[in-house]
Amino acid sequence: MERINNFINGEWLEPVGGTYLDVFEPATGKVYCEAASSGKEDVDLAVQAAKIAFPEWAETSKESRSEILHAIADGIEAELDQLAEYESRDNGKPIWLAHSVDIPRAMTNFRVFADAVMEFKGDTFSSEEFGENTIHLNPLGVVGCISPWNLPLYLFSWKIAPAIVTGNCVIGKPSELTPYTANELGRICKQAGLPDGVLNIIHGEGKFAGAAITEHPDIKAISFTGGTETGKAISKTAAPSFKKLSLELGGKNPNIIFADCDFEKMMETTLRSSFSNQGQICLCGSRILIEKPLFNSFKDEFIQRTKQLEVGDPKRDDSQLSAVVSEAHFNKIMKYIGLAKKEGGTILAGGTPAEINGRCENGWFIQPTIIEGLGVDCRTNQEEIFGPVVSLIPFESEAEAIGMANATDYGLSASIWTDDSEKAQRVAGKIDAGVIWLNCWMVRDLRTPFGGMKQSGLGREGGVEALRFFTEAKNVCIK
């Protein structure tokens, strides 16, 4: 069986402990390869390599670093078809989705930061009284990038690109559920001329490999995307060594739909924001708040269109949804559907596994599910389900919608649907979320700050925010 090893100092090394984890294809439920199960010793080796590579990489001009990032993007672009197939096999998402979203976005991540770094420099302040102040933005050294399984290469590269382009050396850890394209990225980086030791990729479980990264005294910062509970554990571990932290965590995002919206555009977008990637995107809207006069017509149309969604083999172009990432995650989502019923909710569509015949008969597929009849305070409407499950909630007034939207511990994103632009801006101003879309969803200019409030995270990624995160300001004053 194929084995994925750690990528350390430009070489593929077996884990020191010699053990491997099974990697499953979610669409079939079968193991198709193994990935290194790493621990502290492997992380130590990677940090040693990164520390040796750092001085030269930090001194490399930003023009040269930017060129290498563009070469990495070219490498991803050249292998788009193959990478999309790998991503789909690893994660369960349709190949067409990985081909149109995940892999192109990974390529764009490298291009955007390759360009952004060219404009990135510290301020200068000069005055008679306080002299000439020049702010240097220096790389931190060795940094850790820990990413999840829902958008594997997309989120891994979203962290790695700004880290290396600012002159840091990286210890990256993809999710143990989806290690495959991260491993391919190591090869593509090497081919693109990234010096050995600048990017090191460690595979393995969070509690061993991930914890060894967050604990390591020579790692200066951690950029993490994943669950809120994991984010809390990482904060605790990282605090005593004063590591910089960027945490992108969960969400329970509201879609606020007013009766005066463009119904067709809203409906088409709400279907996507509910069920794209099987609902496994932190930005998916899982609480759909609908103004009462529109509630019944929204509900009827939404049910009808949801029932028409095709759930099937990720290899098929007509599969709109495919498998969820793992058996454990399948069970978690099904448990939440059971909980919704116990809490008094009515299942309007879905609510069951999807039976797929043939190659995928043992895969982890769930029908897109709509729940109605639950108040905002119940667990179904408070906890992140992270699957193809949404809840419909009616509201009477703007104030009530805002109250409901803010009534969770999360604050990642929201979308607001209305033709009244003043109302849209007014409501946006009152929603506790880091990312707000008016009459659209998932429109992302990568130069804008991205991240959440409350338990959805700490700090912002994207554009200059990411470049600042991976650098440290030093003010040099002369008078």
Count of residues in contact with ligand TXE, rule CB under 6 A: 27
Cα separation, 114 vs 64, whole angstroms: 10
Q: Choose the stretch contacting ligand TXE; rule: CB under 6 A; options: 107-115, 246-254, 367-375, 398-406.
A: 246-254
Identify whether 261 is a catalytic site residue: no
Question: Which one among 16, 135, 137, 233 touches ligand TXE, defined by CB under 6 A?
Answer: 233
Task: Spell out the alpha helix ranges (H) of 173-320.
Answer: 180-191, 211-215, 228-238, 263-275, 292-308
Site for ligand TXE in 163-202 (CB under 6 A): 173, 175-176
Query: CB neighbours of 436 closer than 8 A, spacing ≥ 6?
Result: 413, 414, 415, 416, 428
- Under the criterion CB under 6 A, does residue 225 sit at the interface with ligand TXE? yes
Query: CB neighbours of 252 closer than 8 A, spacing ≥ 6?
Result: 286, 287, 381, 382, 383, 384, 408, 409, 410
- Under the criterion CB under 6 A, does residue 211 sit at the interface with ligand TXE? yes
The identity of residue 289, as a single letter, is L
Cα separation, 306 vs 350, whole angstroms: 8
- Under the criterion CB under 6 A, does residue 150 sit at the interface with ligand TXE? yes
- Can you say how many angstroms the Cα of residue 457 is from the centroid of all Cα atoms in its chain? 12
Question: Which one among 28, 66, 200, 214 touches ligand TXE, defined by CB under 6 A?
Answer: 214
What kind and span of H or E run contains 62?
A: helix 62-78
Q: Choose the stretch contacting ligand TXE; rule: CB under 6 A; options: 106-114, 144-152, 426-434, 439-447.
A: 144-152
Identify whether 145 is a catalytic site residue: no
Site for ligand TXE in 354-413 (CB under 6 A): 384, 386
- Please identify which residue in the block is written with the tokens 């604050």: 411
Q: Choose the stretch contacting ligand TXE; rule: CB under 6 A; options: 225-233, 258-266, 425-433, 468-476.
A: 225-233
Cα separation, 248 vs 223, whole angstroms: 8
The maximal CA–CA distance of the chain, rounded, in angstroms, is 78
Question: Closer CB to ligand TXE, residue 176 or residue 291?
Answer: 176
Question: Closer CB to ligand TXE, residue 176 or residue 372?
Answer: 176
- Under the criterion CB under 6 A, does residue 49 sit at the interface with ligand TXE? no
- Under the criterion CB under 6 A, does residue 230 sit at the interface with ligand TXE? yes
- Under the criterion CB under 6 A, does residue 156 sit at the interface with ligand TXE? no
Residue 288 Cβ, how far from ligand TXE at the closest point, in Å? Answer: 18
> Per the residue annotation, which of 145, 282, 284, 360 is the catalytic one?
282
R_g of the chain, CA atoms, integer Å: 23
> Per the residue annotation, which of 34, 176, 248, 461 is the catalytic one?
248
Site string for ligand TXE, 432-461 (x = CB under 6 A): ------------------------------
Residue 81 Cβ, how far from ligand TXE at the closest point, in Å? Answer: 26
Indicate the SS3 state at residue 235. Answer: helix
SS (H, E, C) 203-233: CCCHHHHHHHHHHCCCEEEEEEECCHHHHHH
Q: Choose the stretch contacting ligand TXE; rule: CB under 6 A; options: 142-150, 299-307, 313-321, 418-426.
A: 142-150
Indicate the SS3 state at residue 182. Answer: helix
Task: Take residue 396 and report the two structure tokens written for it.
Answer: 């009477």
Q: Choose the stretch contacting ligand TXE; rule: CB under 6 A; options: 95-103, 205-213, 337-345, 433-441.
A: 205-213
Question: Closer CB to ligand TXE, residue 250 or residue 351?
Answer: 250
Residue 302 Cβ, how far from ligand TXE at the closest point, in Å? Answer: 23
Cα separation, 335 vs 294, whole angstroms: 30
Cα separation, 222 vs 118, whole angstroms: 24
Active-site amino acid positions: 248, 282
Binding site for ligand TXE (CB under 6 A): 146-150, 173, 175-176, 205-207, 210-211, 214, 225-227, 230, 233-234, 248-250, 282, 332, 384, 386
